[in-house]
Structure 1
Amino acid sequence: MHLADGTRPYRVRVCGTAPVVSAGPFGIATDLGLEALSNADTIVVPARNDVTAPTPDGVIEALQAAHARGARIASICAGAFTLAEAGILDGKRATTHWLAADLFRQMYPDVRLDADVLYVDEGQVLTSAGASAGLDLCLHMVTCDHGTAVAAEAARVAVAPLHRDGGQAQYVIRNRQRTEAGLGEMLAWIEHNAHRELSLEDLAVQASTSVRSLNRRFRAETGQTPMQWLTGVRVRHAQQLLECSADSVEWIGREVGFGSPANFREQFRRLTGVSPLAYRNTFRARSA
Structure 2
Amino acid sequence: MRIVILAFDGVFDTGMTVLLDTFAMANELAAMSGFARPPFDVKLVGVRKRLRTALGLTTLVEPLSAIRKPDWLIVPAINAKQPEKLAQALERRDVREALAQLGPWHAKGAGIAAACIGTFLLAEAGLLDGREATTTWSLAPFFRQRYPAVRLDDSRMVVASDRVVTAGALMGHLDLALWLVRQMTPDLATLVARFMLIDKRASQARYIVPDHLAHADPLIAGFERWSREHLSAGFSLQDAASALAVHTRTLQRRTEAILGKSPLAFFQDLRIEHAQHLVSCGYDLETIAGEVGYADAATLRNLLRRKLGRGVRELRAELR
Instruction: Return the TM-score normalized by structure 2.
Output: 0.65
2:75–2:115 Cα contact (<8 Å) kept: yes
1:108 aligns with 2:147: yes
2:51–2:60 Cα contact (<8 Å) kept: yes
Q: When the two structures are aligned, how many residues end up with a matched partner? A: 266
How far did 1:23 drift? 4.0
| Alpha-carbon RMSD | 4.0
Which residue of 276, 284, 298 maps to 1:262?
298
How far did 1:259 drift? 5.0
Judged with a 3 Å threshold, the aligned counterparts in structure 2 of structure 1 residues 30 and 110 are, in CA distance, closer, same or farther, namely farther
Written as runs of structure 1 = structure 2, the 5 A alignment for 1:1-288 is 1-3=28-30, 4-6=33-35, 7-27=37-57, 29-35=59-65, 37-48=67-78, 49=80, 50-52=85-87, 53=89, 54-55=91-92, 56=94, 58-147=97-186, 149-161=187-199, 163-165=200-202, 168-171=203-206, 172=208, 174-175=210-211, 177-178=214-215, 191=228, 197-199=232-234, 213-214=242-243, 223=255, 231-240=268-277, 250=285, 253=288, 257=292, 260-269=296-305, 272=307, 274-276=309-311, 280=315
1:95–1:128 Cα contact (<8 Å) kept: yes
The one-letter amino acid of 2:188's match is V
Please give the alpha-carbon distance, in whole angstroms, between the structure 2 residues aligned to 1:59 and 1:81.
13
How far did 1:85 drift? 2.2
- Show structure 1 runs of 5+ residues with no match: 205-209
Judged with a 3 Å threshold, the aligned counterparts in structure 2 of structure 1 residues 200 and 123 are, in CA distance, closer, same or farther, namely closer
Equivalent pairs: percent with the same residue? 25
The one-letter amino acid of 1:2's match is L
Instruction: Return the TM-score normalized by structure 1.
Output: 0.72
Please give the alpha-carbon distance, in whole angstroms, between the structure 2 residues aligned to 1:37 and 1:252.
61
Judged with a 3 Å threshold, the aligned counterparts in structure 2 of structure 1 residues 218 and 177 are, in CA distance, closer, same or farther, namely farther
How far did 1:151 drift? 1.0
2:47–2:65 Cα contact (<8 Å) kept: no
The one-letter amino acid of 1:260's match is D
How far did 1:38 drift? 2.3
2:301–2:312 Cα contact (<8 Å) kept: no
How far did 1:72 drift? 1.4
Residue 57 of structure 2: SS of its match in structure 1?
strand
Please give the alpha-carbon distance, in whole angstroms, between the structure 2 residues aligned to 1:278 and 1:140.
30
Please give the alpha-carbon distance, in whole angstroms, between the structure 2 residues aligned to 1:159 and 1:252.
36
Residue 127 of structure 1: SS of its match in structure 2?
strand
Q: Which has the higher contact order (CA 8 A, sep 6+)?
A: 2
Please give the alpha-carbon distance, in whole angstroms, between the structure 2 residues aligned to 1:92 and 1:12.
27
How far did 1:125 drift? 0.7
Please give the alpha-carbon distance, in whole angstroms, between the structure 2 residues aligned to 1:250 and 1:135.
35
Judged with a 3 Å threshold, the aligned counterparts in structure 2 of structure 1 residues 37 and 60 are, in CA distance, closer, same or farther, namely farther
How far did 1:105 drift? 2.9
1:249–1:276 Cα contact (<8 Å) kept: no
Judged with a 3 Å threshold, the aligned counterparts in structure 2 of structure 1 residues 278 and 12 are, in CA distance, closer, same or farther, namely farther
